Structure 1
């Protein structure tokens, strides 16, 4: 009896200990979005790195946490020693650790404690000018604060902060600051442009801004050719190139000189619970740019940056096509994007292609664009098999959903007083430099506030094609513009718009389907249909009595192009 009681008692205690842990684990699985929202699709598998338990404290190698001592050699020595011994964990403990560039090594987990900050020096001389990559093209750049190449089994973890001291590197537009902020910035030094609308941090930076294709390592150019404008060639904060089994977890990556996180040609990369943070005025201050990578997971992370939030790339133009490495097999889930040019973005450098993307349970608040897909002639590349579900948006400055093949390299929302002309429409010959957007599936979207609900603009020679937009409620100032598109399908989409004249504009597009479309009662005009190439616009399960006028046909469009039942 005693033995039975003891066994039972031990089991009860063990159960009491395990049940909360099991509940926590179940909750974590639920919150991580492990359930597959994409019916019938098998999600990609991403391998995690594994590390020895051995730990090395950077203090052992002489690092000093006073925010003044330069700890570059001490930190790199600790990482190198750890890797040489077979790997393990290099710990960055309490304190502010001033440092120059850190180079990762295989089998090392750089662990930054919550009360620790890696602060990268403002001293340009600490960063060598090296051969790197910028916006998909080989280019001379300053050495990144954190870098690694041809490595395996690496990680940056913890809950601490990596600060790139980006303000020392960035130019700033006058229109992006208040009067007092601008005055303070100008008084700090630096150089102004002739029109006084741009501040540059140094004379070298200003000179670089005047050089065409500055830093590009093509046509015989070498790193030495750009020494005079070194300050202009801003580094990305973290660049990991051709690495396998990468983990970035828990850390705040902030104040980057250019892009924040840049995995390039990596395989099996996991980004989890990170916070990527840049000032909203930070030019090229992207959150993460996943470029030519295979098998990746980005989850439970937050982005509040100066350019695109979560961005997918694969090289630019001819150089990207020569590389020939698409970004593929990617899961993005449970992420929040605050200020950014785009919440989830593909392009514009997508010349190697983008395939097999799964994006779900993300929230975009105050971004310029929500879902942003951009390219232009010359890129080439095919973007397809894109699956997006359960997206929430609020206070989107521009378009909630945008597909655009006329990207011009400008901010998505014009600054006050800025004039932009619509691109001239011409038909070009289809070549390997012609980009393609096709096979997108977007469902379960709620947007509370945008300038425009949906924008689709393809090329005459290569329409945006095969898009499915299902189950959406979008509140916006204007509805939908669709130009040079083929086989665009909207089902159960509700557009609540301020401007109802028209709700939807269609130009030179074909095979456009609306099933269960809902819109404001009393709308002035439901459809404005234009262009002689427009045909096969099908509308079903939709009431036309809510609109004062059903459709208007202009610029050669035929009334027979609209088919209703």
Structure 2
């Protein structure tokens, strides 16, 4: 019994040691906003780790720091009114996993880092503030290179690298020097009730998921200077896979939701639902594979957008970049298949990258079609204003270029949907509203196969050559179209390769011809 009692005592002590909190002030941290606390905070983390894990507590106060590393079984807990404040001196930061981002800049320095760790967390009601604008202001005093070359030295706010079991919950992330949060090749991630306010310098992406799996993101509020929620793969070794996102509010100077641009490994089994995107300056939803990735089995549904420049862009291209040049090689062109976008209502911004604005851009490259893309229950309100000349603009292929809305602009020949190099494209229950007359077609499809256009509700327009234009399209079914305006033709079929076009059950009483074929 004595031995049993002794054993129970030691077990009790062990459990309580593991559950203990490690207050950073007990290790010398000072919350005055000026004392550099990197070493003190790291000592608290190391002590917690050596004890078997627990909470490292940052109490109320402003704790200035450079790079600190979270270790196995450690949760960094920020109490209410606690601020982890990033140093504005670049020498206080480390790059524990260097890589090259999509524009060719070497990056990876960060304030808060975890590398090859298990069961870690960043939680609480406090704030992590990177002081990005102040870092830049100090940096440019001595670094006279153009901004596009020097920005990569500035630190990310949070970097999670090859970790398993990650929880980021409740905290506020503010004003990163570069990307706000970057999760790389990690698994079993929960990001919940996180608020991001990160603007002031370039490249302030909000939540960046880079080759991660088993990810859940919910109920977050993101205001970012760059893409608000972005999935990327900067290494070919691990796909973005098995991801669920719901309940996000997203505002961005770039895109609201983006897959790519860095896209060397696959994106699959991704579900994004019940999100609101607003005041974005460069796209609402953008799905882009240009470096060899396969995008497949993606569902995005129940999305609202307000004042969004160019609501949707879908791109399969052949840029074929490599981001870890010392260890990886180029891949062949990827694929884009089995993607569903459903239940989307958007108010497009009147002033956009495209003049006049367009709603949806879909384009592969010659020999590589976007395949089995379904857009269903879509309503988009646009400014209108397109001319007959705009309706005949030739859009560049830009096969190996950076994939961006402006890459294909400044004008697009359709106000609603422009699609090129597509196969098994389904456009079902689509409605457009226009603020002014637009004589461009609602839909232009070039080089398409097996195209379905069903149950569209289109606004009154006057003077259009056609409501829908099909160029080199083989096998298309256009049915259930309600078009209130006047035009020469409901469907205009052009180019010698067009064939097997079925047009039926449409309601367009003021349009002269249902089908006009031009060879």
Using structure 2 for the length normalisation, give the TM-score. Answer: 0.79
| 2:210 counterpart (286, 291, 297) | 291
Kindly provide the CA deviation profile for residues 289-331 of structure 1, in whole angstroms up to 9, marking residues without a partner as x.
Answer: 101111000110011111111111122xxxx33x2x1010000
Q: Partner of 2:167 in structure 1?
A: 247
Q: Where do residues 141-156 of structure 1 align in structure 2 (5 Å cutoff)?
A: 141=107, 143-156=109-122
Query: Given the superposition, is the C-alpha separation of residues 547 and 557 from structure 1 closer, same or farther in structure 2, using an over 3 Å criterion?
Result: farther
Kindly provide the CA deviation profile for residues 370-395 of structure 1, in whole angstroms up to 9, marking residues without a partner as x.
Answer: 1111233xx11201000111000000
2:16 maps to 1:104: no
Deviates more, 1:367-376 or 1:438-447: 367-376
User: Could you say which structure has the higher strand fraction?
Assistant: 2
Whole-Å separation in 2 of the counterparts to 1:500 and 1:537 = 23
User: Could you say which structure has the higher helix fraction?
Assistant: 1
2:304 maps to 1:392: yes
Q: Partner of 1:159 in structure 2?
A: 125
Aligned residue for 2:216, secondary structure, equals: strand
Aligned residue for 2:72, secondary structure, equals: coil
Aligned residue for 1:91, secondary structure, equals: strand
2:197 maps to 1:277: yes
Whole-Å separation in 1 of the counterparts to 2:347 and 2:177 = 33
Q: Partner of 2:334 in structure 1?
A: 435
Using structure 1 for the length normalisation, give the TM-score. Answer: 0.72
Q: Partner of 2:183 in structure 1?
A: 263
Q: Where do residues 105-504 of structure 1 align in structure 2 (5 Å cutoff)?
A: 105-128=71-94, 130-135=96-101, 141=107, 143-170=109-136, 201-204=140-143, 206=145, 232-279=152-199, 282-315=201-234, 320-321=235-236, 323=237, 325-367=238-280, 368-376=282-290, 379-397=291-309, 399-406=310-317, 432-450=331-349, 451-477=357-383, 478-497=415-434, 498=436, 499-504=438-443
Query: Given the superposition, is the C-alpha separation of residues 295 and 445 from structure 1 closer, same or farther in structure 2, using an over 3 Å criterion?
Result: same
Aligned residue for 1:258, secondary structure, equals: coil
* Residue 202 of structure 1, CA deviation: 3.8
* Residue 257 of structure 1, CA deviation: 1.4
2:57 maps to 1:91: yes
| Alignment: residue pair count | 437
* Residue 114 of structure 1, CA deviation: 2.1
Deviates more, 1:541-550 or 1:232-241: 541-550
* Residue 110 of structure 1, CA deviation: 0.5
RMSD: 2.6
Are the aligned partners of 1:88 and 1:109 in contact in 2 as well (CA < 8 Å)? Answer: yes
Query: Given the superposition, is the C-alpha separation of residues 144 and 64 from structure 1 closer, same or farther in structure 2, using an over 3 Å criterion?
Result: same
Are the aligned partners of 2:232 and 2:240 in contact in 1 as well (CA < 8 Å)? Answer: yes
Residue segments in structure 1 that go unaligned for 5+ positions in a row: 1-50, 171-187, 191-199, 211-228, 410-430
* Residue 52 of structure 1, CA deviation: 5.2
Are the aligned partners of 1:464 and 1:485 in contact in 2 as well (CA < 8 Å)? Answer: yes
Whole-Å separation in 2 of the counterparts to 1:87 and 1:138 = 38
Deviates more, 1:400-409 or 1:535-544: 400-409
| 2:446 counterpart (507, 517, 523) | 507
Are the aligned partners of 1:65 and 1:98 in contact in 2 as well (CA < 8 Å)? Answer: yes
Whole-Å separation in 1 of the counterparts to 2:183 and 2:104 = 15
Whole-Å separation in 1 of the counterparts to 2:172 and 2:152 = 25
Aligned residue for 1:447, secondary structure, equals: strand
* Residue 540 of structure 1, CA deviation: 1.5
Are the aligned partners of 2:19 and 2:54 in contact in 1 as well (CA < 8 Å)? Answer: yes
Deviates more, 1:74-83 or 1:546-555: 546-555
